Amino acid sequence: MTDTKKITAAEHHLLVAFAHCENTPLNGAPMQAQQPSDLSTWVWLDDRKVGDMTTAQKKGVLASLVKKGFVTVTPDSEGDLIGWTDSGFALLKTILGQPLPALTVQKGAQEPVKGKPAKAAGAAPKTSRKPGADVILFLPADAQKEPRPGTKRAAIIDMLRKPAGTTVEEIAAATGWSRAVASSALYVDVKGSGWGVERREGRLHLLPEGVK
């Protein structure tokens, strides 16, 4: 059994908050997770309600979780993504069945100075890649799962499959989602189904191309 004494109350709360995020492949149902990738999501610390903790405090807690090897943070053109290591996933499966511990928030943590955002915990050094440059966002898996016809997932993949490709804004308009949700859908719905996506000349295209 995983030793839950390895984490603090604040770390416990933040892990659970990430697991219940509605932008994971399981739409906020972590008990159904079978593997770490089922719970990948955006960091978005401003949206993670953890008691009265400030964003600065949550960044510190996240940095500690990265240092302990429970989660990873990967920079992306649309925002940082959080992933779970095997040990972090095992720990989560243990604490999900436990009541949340009492959380005492220490005062005094300051928010980042405006205009100077703090570096994301565990983030790799920034590259010189220009925004909108041609890049493979993520590679396809060995096999792809065709979506159920008539679903938003099917609509997104059809848009990506067109020769002209699509954009996050067009996906948002077609689905009625916000830009942030449409962007996360690329990872939750498209990557989660085994497809890859690349950006060429500012447009998003499905990988592997032509697969039907």
Encoded tokens for 20: 């219940």
Q: Cα(124)–Cα(189) distance, rounded to whole angstroms?
A: 25
Residues 206 and 157 sit within 8 Å (Cβ to Cβ) = yes
Q: Can you list the domains of the chain with their CATH numbers?
A: 4-95 (1.10.10.10), 135-207 (1.10.10)
Q: Cα(101)–Cα(74) distance, rounded to whole angstroms?
A: 28
Q: Per-residue pLDDT tens for 67-101?
A: 999 999 887 655 687 888 999 999 998 998 888 88
User: H or E stretch including 64?
Assistant: helix 55-67
Per residue, the 3-state secondary structure of 93-116, as one string, reads HHHCCCCCCCCCCCCCCCCCCCCC
Residues 27 and 191 sit within 8 Å (Cβ to Cβ) = no
**Is residue 210 classed as helix, strand or coil in its secondary structure?**
coil
Which pLDDT belongs to residue 77? 54
**With bands split at pLDDT 50, 70 and 90, how would you rate the model's confidence at 121?**
very low
Residue 174 burial by Cβ neighbours in a 10 Å radius (0-12, 13-18, 19+):
middle
Q: Cα(202)–Cα(166) distance, rounded to whole angstroms?
A: 9
Residues 105 and 52 sit within 8 Å (Cβ to Cβ) = yes
Query: 27-61: buried (b, 16+ CB within 10 Å) or exposed (e) per residue?
Result: eeebeebeebebbbbbbbbeebebbebbeebbbeb
DSSP letter (8 states) at residue 176: T
Alpha helices by DSSP H, 118-178: 152-161, 168-175
Q: Per-residue pLDDT tens for 21-75?
A: 766 666 667 888 888 877 878 788 887 888 888 999 999 999 999 999 999 988 7
Q: Give the predicted TM-score (pTM) of the model.
A: 0.53
Question: Regarding predicted confidence, which is higher, 13 or 114?
Answer: 13
